[in-house]
Structures are given as structure tokens and as C-alpha cells.
């Protein structure tokens, strides 16, 4: 005897899948700082941001080609909404370049807090401007998570520099990331995540690589630098954004950006376990607030 699925159960399962995928993406993003600590430091951060986009684009090309076949991939690639993909790729390139430039100008603590913390707020405001109204539960959870993330970052120490142009760059980084998420949400609604991410990151790499050469000069990279860039491009960019794009099919773009705050949680835990960092009480208080905020966001999305 067949059973009829409960509509309310199905309505909860779909966002839960999306939530899990985005949280996994955030965990992979959180490995970025630890991975870079194994580099010899000779590679400019501008080149790091640009090269990881290039490696990710190659990853998406191989992945999409292997699961779809060259001819099928070519047809879907041509049918992609290239206007939206071009804007999303420009946002991704802008996010990488403004983030690294902002962090360089303001220091790791201020730069990370502003860039990552402003992203969810920008996403909520953009959705509000577009006619979608994130609920009170989402706003409460997001603001709590953002506040916790700020405490977590500052509790880990680091230079604090109030550089106005750097602050503007960090806020621009959060804005471009939020715009990317909203554009990507539309793309994966009409195309597969593999094809959509391939188009977006191809555009992003084509824009970011020349910009890195202009701002940082000729590429100078060692073997260890290539290993780090390879990991960043495949794991913390390629696989992570594939998970993120797939997850966006089941949740709102604003929730996806908020759940990306899993990144500083993972970075914090890796700093404890791998780097041997010993943060203060403020960082642990921030961690608790961030996790509580994410729980509220998840509750709001599933309801």
C-alpha cells in the first residue's frame, strides 16, 4: 500500500537539506585561513584571490563535463542566463579583490568582521528592497550571529586599524557577496548548480586575474604556493560553492548568506586544533552567540 507524503514534512525536509549543504560549504570556507598559514607568504593576497577563482573554474569544468558529457554540457552552457551569470561573476571577482584589499588595509580582525558580518545584513536589505520580507526570527538570528561573529573575530586578537578606505572596501566586499548570492539563487533555479557555478566562476576568473596582475604585479609563486592555491581552489572554493549553490535551491538567498557565518566558527576551531591559538573569553562568548544566532536562523527558515 503506497503512502501519501505529508506536505508539511516535505516542506521541512527540503530547507533542511539546503541548510545542511550551506553549513558544509561554510565549514570548507573556514579552512581558508589555516590553509594559507602553510604557504611561505611570498604570494600576494590579490593573486591568491584571483588564482583560486581560476582553479575553481577548472574544477567546475571537469566536474560538469564528467557528469553531463561534453555535448550535453555545451548545450546547457549555451542556454545559461549569461546576463545574470556575468553579473554574478563580476560580483564574485569584486568580492575576492575587495575582501583581500580591505583586510590588507584594516587588518585581519576589522576586515574579517566587516566583510563577513555585513554580508547577511546586506542580503536581508536587498531581499527587502526586492519585495521579499525576511521575518523577525531571521533578523533576530542574523543580528545575533553577526554580533557573535564580531566578538569571535576580535576575541582572537589582531591589529585594529580604522582605515576609512579599507572599511569601505570591506563593506563593499559584503555587498558584492550578498549580490552574488541573490543572483546565484536565480541562476540555480533555471540551471543545474554545476553549469551555473561554471559560468559564474569563469567570468569571475577572467575579471580577477588581470586585476591581480595590475595591482600586485607579475605572478611570483613557489611550489608550496601552488599547493595552497590548489587546495583553496578545489576544496574551499570549488566544492564549497557547489554545495552552496545546490543548497540555495531549498532556502532563501538571505538565509544562505547568514548560514555562511559557519565560516568563522570553523576557522576558530581549526585555529585551536591546528595552529595552537589560545583566544580569550570574549572569543568563546562570541562563538556561543554566533551558534545561537544560526540556530534561530535555521528555525526561522524551516518554519
Q: Tens digits of per-residue pLDDT, 171-183?
A: 999 999 999 999 9
Rg for the chain (alpha carbons), in Å?
19
Rounded CA-CA distance 78/194 in Å is 14
Angle between helices 70-79 and 193-216 (to 10 degrees): 70
The pLDDT value recorded for residue 2 is 41
Report whether 184 contacts 248 (CB < 8 A).
Answer: yes
Q: Are 103 and 48 in contact (CB under 8 A)?
A: no
N residues, the chain: 303
Instruction: Please report the pLDDT score of residue 196 as a whole number.
Output: 95
Span 37-58, average pLDDT = 87
Q: pTM surpassing 0.85?
A: yes
Burial class (CB in 10 A: 0-12, 13-18, 19+), 291: middle
Q: What confidence tens digit (pLDDT) does each residue in 55-81 have?
A: 999 999 999 999 888 888 888 889 999
Q: Can you give the pLDDT at residue 12?
A: 54
pLDDT grade for 131, boundaries at 50, 70 and 90: confident
Distances (CA, A) of 97 to 33, 39, 168, 248: 16, 19, 13, 24
- Mean pLDDT of all residues belonging to the chain: 89
Q: How far apart are CA 279 and CA 121, in angstroms?
A: 27
Share above pLDDT 90 across residues of the chain, in percent, rounded to a whole number? 61
What is the rounded distance in angstroms from the CA atom of residue 85 to the CA atom of residue 35?
A: 29
What is the rounded CA–CA span in Å between residue 76 and residue 68? Answer: 9
33/156 Cα distance (integer angstroms): 13
SS3 3: coil
Residue 162 above 90 pLDDT? no
- Residue 158: pLDDT band by 50, 70, 90 thresholds? low
> What's the rounded mean pLDDT across residues 73-95?
93
- CB-based contacts of 27: which residues, under 8 Å, 6+ apart? 262, 263, 266
Q: Is the Cβ–Cβ distance between 110 and 162 less than 8 Å?
A: yes
Residue for grid cell 516542506: 11
Amino acid at each position: 500500500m503506497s503512502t501519501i507524503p505529508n506536505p508539511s514534512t516535505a516542506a521541512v525536509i527540503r530547507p533542511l537539506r539546503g541548510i545542511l549543504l550551506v553549513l558544509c560549504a561554510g565549514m570548507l570556507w573556514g579552512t581558508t585561513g589555516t590553509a594559507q598559514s602553510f604557504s611561505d607568504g611570498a604570494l600576494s593576497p590579490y593573486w591568491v584571490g584571483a588564482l583560486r577563482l581560476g582553479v575553481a573554474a577548472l574544477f567546475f569544468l571537469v566536474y560538469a563535463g564528467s557528469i553531463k558529457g561534453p555535448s550535453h554540457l555545451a548545450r546547457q552552457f549555451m542556454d545559461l542566463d549569461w546576463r545574470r551569470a556575468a553579473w554574478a561573476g563580476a560580483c564574485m571577482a569584486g568580492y575576492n579583490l575587495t575582501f583581500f584589499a580591505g583586510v590588507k588595509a584594516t587588518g585581519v580582525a576589522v576586515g574579517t568582521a566587516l566583510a563577513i558580518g555585513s554580508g547577511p545584513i546586506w542580503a536581508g536589505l536587498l531581499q527587502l528592497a526586492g519585495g521579499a520580507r525576511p521575518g523577525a526570527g531571521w533578523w533576530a538570528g542574523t543580528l545575533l550571529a553577526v554580533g557573535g561573529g564580531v566578538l569571535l573575530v576580535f576575541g582572537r586578537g589582531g591589529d585594529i586599524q580604522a582605515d576609512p578606505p579599507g572599511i569601505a572596501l570591506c563593506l563593499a566586499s559584503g555587498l558584492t557577496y550578498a549580490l552574488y548570492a541573490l543572483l546565484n539563487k536565480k541562476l540555480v533555479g533555471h540551471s543545474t548548480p554545476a553549469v551555473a557555478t561554471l559560468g559564474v566562476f569563469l567570468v569571475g576568473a577572467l575579471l580577477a586575474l588581470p586585476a591581480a596582475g595590475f595591482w600586485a604585479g607579475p605572478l611570483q609563486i613557489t611550489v608550496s604556493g601552488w599547493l595552497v592555491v590548489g587546495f583553496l581552489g578545489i576544496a574551499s572554493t570549488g566544492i564549497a560553492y557547489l554545495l552552496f549553490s545546490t543548497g540555495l535551491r531549498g532556502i532563501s538567498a538571505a538565509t544562505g548568506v547568514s548560514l555562511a557565518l559557519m565560516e568563522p566558527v570553523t576557522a576558530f576551531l581549526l585555529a585551536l586544533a591546528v595552529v595552537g591559538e589560545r583566544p580569550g573569553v570574549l572569543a568563546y562568548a562570541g562563538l556561543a552567540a554566533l551558534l545561537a544566532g544560526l540556530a534561530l536562523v535555521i528555525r526561522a527558515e524551516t518554519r
